Amino acid sequence: MVTSLPKQSLEAVSRKALKESILTPRFYTTDFETAATMDLSNQETELQAMLAEMRADYNRHHFVRDEVFNQSWDHITGEARQAFIDYLERSCVSEFSGFLLFKELSRKLKERSPLLSEMFSLMARDEARHAGFLNKAMSDFGCTMDLRHLTKNRVYTFFPLEWVIYTVYLSEKIGYWRYIIIYRHLEKHPEHQFYPLFRYFESWCQDENRHGDIFKALLRSQPKLWQTWQSRLWSRFFLLTVFATHTLTVHERTGFYDSLGLDPTEFDAEVIRKTNETAARAFPSVLDTDHPEFLRRLHCCSDLNLKMSEIDRTTQPQWVKAIRKLPFQMAIVGHLLRIYWIKPIDAEALRGIVR
C-alpha cells in the first residue's frame, strides 16, 4: 500500500537526485533554433509513419498498477532493498529528465515545426508515464521523489542539438536492451522476480525502441551526422561515453543484479554488444566490442571507480579526497583513450552503402 511520507523524506530524495556526477542522469537543454530549422525531407515519410504509431499509443493502458502491488514489501531488506531503491531513483530521474527535454522541445517547435513538436509531445507523454510509474514503485519502499521540486530546482546542462540526437538515440536503445534482457531473463527464472514492476518491462522497452527509432530518423536526416569524418569520431565518442557509464553504474550496483539472479559483468557485456550492433544501423562507425582489450579496459575503469567510491566514503576533507582520486581519474581517462583508438568498425560498409 502506498503511504504518505514526511516532507523531509521527499526533500532528501530530491536533493539526492539533484546531486550530479558523471554517472548521474542530468537535465538537458539545447539549441531550439537549430531544431526548428532542421531539414527533415529525406526522412519525412519514415517520421510520419512513426508519428502515426505514436498517436496510436499502444501502451496507453499498460502502466496501470494491479492488485499484486497492494502488499507489504518489507520482506525485501538489507543490501537488496537499498540497491533496488537506488535503481528506481536513477531510472525515475532519467525518465523525468527525458520528459522535461521533450516537453520543452515540443513547446519551442510548436509554431515552426509542427511534425517535430507533436512527436516530442508524444515522447514526453511516454517518459512522464515511466517516471510516474517508477515513482509509485518507490513509494512502496518508503520513499518517493518530489518531481515538482526537481522541476523547479534542476540545473541544466547545455548540449548542442547534434549531441542530443546522438546521446538520446543511444540512451533509448541501451534502455531497450536493458529492459528486454532483464524481462527475458525473468521469464526463464521467475523465482527471481521479487517485485511486479519487472512484468511491465516488455511493453515498456517498446516505448524506448520507438523513441530510439525516431532519433535514428532525425540523425539520418542530417548528412553531417553520418557522412563526414567528424561524425565517425563523434559516433565512437558517444558510444564509448555511454558504454563506460553503463559499466561503471552496473558494477556500482551489483546488489541489484545479484537479486535478479543476473551476473552483473555478463549483463553489462550483453547490453553493450547488443546496443553497439543496433547503433551500426544508424551510426557511420561503431566500436569493436569483441576486441580483447575492449571489455578488459572497461572493467579496469570500473575497478578504479570503485576505489574512488571508497575514498568518497571516508571522512577526509574534500581537497584530500580530490588529490587521492586524481591518479585513479587519470588512469580511467588513459584506459578510455586506449579503447577509443582501437580500430573501429565501418558501419556504412556493413550495410553495403557505397558513398
> Across residues 75-82, what is the average pLDDT?
88
- Confidence band for 25, pLDDT divided at 50, 70 and 90: low
- In tens, the pLDDT along 260-299 reads 999 999 999 999 999 999 999 999 999 999 999 999 999 9
Residue 261 φ/ψ region, left for φ over 0, alpha for ψ in the -120 to 50 degree band, beta for the rest: left
pLDDT of residue 113: 94
21 pLDDT higher than 80: no
> Across residues 33-60, what is the average pLDDT?
94
pLDDT of residue 350: 79
CA dihedral 32, 162, 132, 150 (to 10 degrees): -60
Please name which of 262, 258, 252 lies closest in space to residue 24, comparing C-alpha atoms. Answer: 252
15 pLDDT higher than 50: no
Kind of pairing, strands 345-346 and 156-158? unpaired
CA dist 24 and 18 (Å) reads 9
pLDDT of residue 145: 82
Lowest-confidence pick of 106-115, 148-157, 205-214: 148-157
Q: What is the pTM of this model?
A: 0.90
147 pLDDT higher than 90: no
- In tens, the pLDDT along 213-246 reads 999 999 999 999 999 999 999 999 999 999 999 9
The better pLDDT of the pair 2, 56 is held by: 56
- Confidence band for 302, pLDDT divided at 50, 70 and 90: very high
Amino acid letter at 126?
D
Residue 50 carries which DSSP code? Answer: H
CA dist 306 and 300 (Å) reads 10
Lowest-confidence pick of 59-63, 237-241, 309-313: 59-63
Cα 309 to its chain centre, rounded Å, is 21
CA dihedral 254, 258, 263, 269 (to 10 degrees): -40
CA dist 335 and 332 (Å) reads 5
pLDDT of residue 5: 40
Percentage of the residues of the chain whose pLDDT score is greater than 90: 77
Lowest-confidence pick of 9-13, 99-103, 188-192, 351-355: 9-13
pLDDT of residue 24: 53
250 pLDDT higher than 80: yes
pLDDT of residue 352: 63
pLDDT of residue 230: 96
10 pLDDT higher than 90: no
6 pLDDT higher than 50: no
The better pLDDT of the pair 259, 152 is held by: 259
pLDDT of residue 27: 81
- Confidence band for 151, pLDDT divided at 50, 70 and 90: confident
pLDDT of residue 166: 97
Percentage of the residues of the chain whose pLDDT score is greater than 70: 91
- Confidence band for 187, pLDDT divided at 50, 70 and 90: very high
Cα 47 to its chain centre, rounded Å, is 22
